[in-house]
Amino acid sequence: MSGRVSRVRQAVIGWLYPPLCGACDLPLEAERQLSKPFLCGDCEATLVPIGSHYCRVCGQGFESTGTVPFRCANCGDRELAIDFAVSAYRGSGVGRDLMHRFKYGRQRQLGRLFGVMLDEVWRDERLHEGSWWVVPVPLHPRRLRERGFNQSRELARELIRRAPAGVRLTLQPFLRRVKQTTRQAQLDRRDRLANLYDVFESRKKLPPAPAEGARILLVDDVITTGTTVSECAAVLREGFKIKKIAAVSVLRG
């Protein structure tokens, strides 16, 4: 759909159903809704972008203003199967509330807002190298039925739709979740690792990887320790010759 038709359609929808802020339910002006869908200015002001100072491996943001690439103490002693992760915003406050409403409150439209928030990850120049297969972190089929959608797949679609010029992204839902797990957020770190053992599988039919190896971009809503995306990456490394595996998320826990 062209930008103009989309704007007209948006205006009509906005007139029929004035959009509300997904965090505080304040009605939004049409112009606001176009630039930051479902987010008012006051709520936006409380969001904290990860910014430019973050771990070059796990993506954890830090207060310091130094610019030297570094690896942080949170992941320095761990083997991660991803090459690197990049997150857009800190997973606290309004960001966390919005994500909660998106996933558990049947507010699927918030995917559009998270798509805009995901624009932040393109600050990382390593993501601009050529083309990627985009692989959403899968939900277990039972949870998918309960929720009606896989949030990571919605985010992957938005990421692809809004990708900057010169970056080619194609959706490749290669993974399945074969074990239903306790929500990661409810577990401590050691239990998280045990909880994720043998959770993911690759689908049976996979396309041949490019000769130089596949470049894969995993998409998740929240990255906390990096264990989930690392487990996904480990499974993909068994199925393909891999050039690079990166992971992106809207929030960093």
| Residues within the interface to Zn ion (CB under 5 A) | 21, 23-24, 26, 40, 43, 55, 57-58, 60, 72, 74-75
User: Residue 141 CB, nearest distance to Zn ion (Å)?
Assistant: 32
Question: 157 or 244, CB closer to Zn ion?
Answer: 244
Q: With respect to Zn ion, which residue has the nearer C-beta, 75 or 218? A: 75
Minimum Å distance from CB 179 to Zn ion?
27
The H or E element that residue 219 is part of is strand 214-223
**Contact between residue 155 and residue 219 where contact means Cβ atoms under 8 Å apart:** yes
Closest approach of Zn ion to the CB of residue 174, in Å: 25
Rg (CA), the chain: 18
Cβ distance to Zn ion smaller for residue 55 or 199? 55
Pick 21 or 156: Cβ nearer Zn ion: 21
Dist CA 240 CA 252 (whole Å): 28
H-helix or E-strand spanning residue 78: none
Please, what is the minimum distance in Å from the beta carbon of residue 96 to Zn ion? Answer: 14
**Would you say 40 or 155 has its CB closer to Zn ion?**
40
Q: In whole angstroms, give the CA distance from residue 232 to residue 238.
A: 10
- Using the minimum distance from each CB to Zn ion, give the nearer residue, 89 or 133: 89
CB of 157 to Zn ion, least distance (A): 24
With contact defined as beta carbons under 8 Å apart, do 241 and 214 qualify?
yes
**What is the per-residue DSSP string for 92-153?**
SHHHHHHHHHHHHS--TTHHHHHHHHHGGGGGSGGGGSSEEEEEEPPPPHHHHHHHSS-HHH
Rounded Cα gap, residues 220 and 249, in angstroms: 5
Shortest Å distance, C-beta 55 to Zn ion: 3
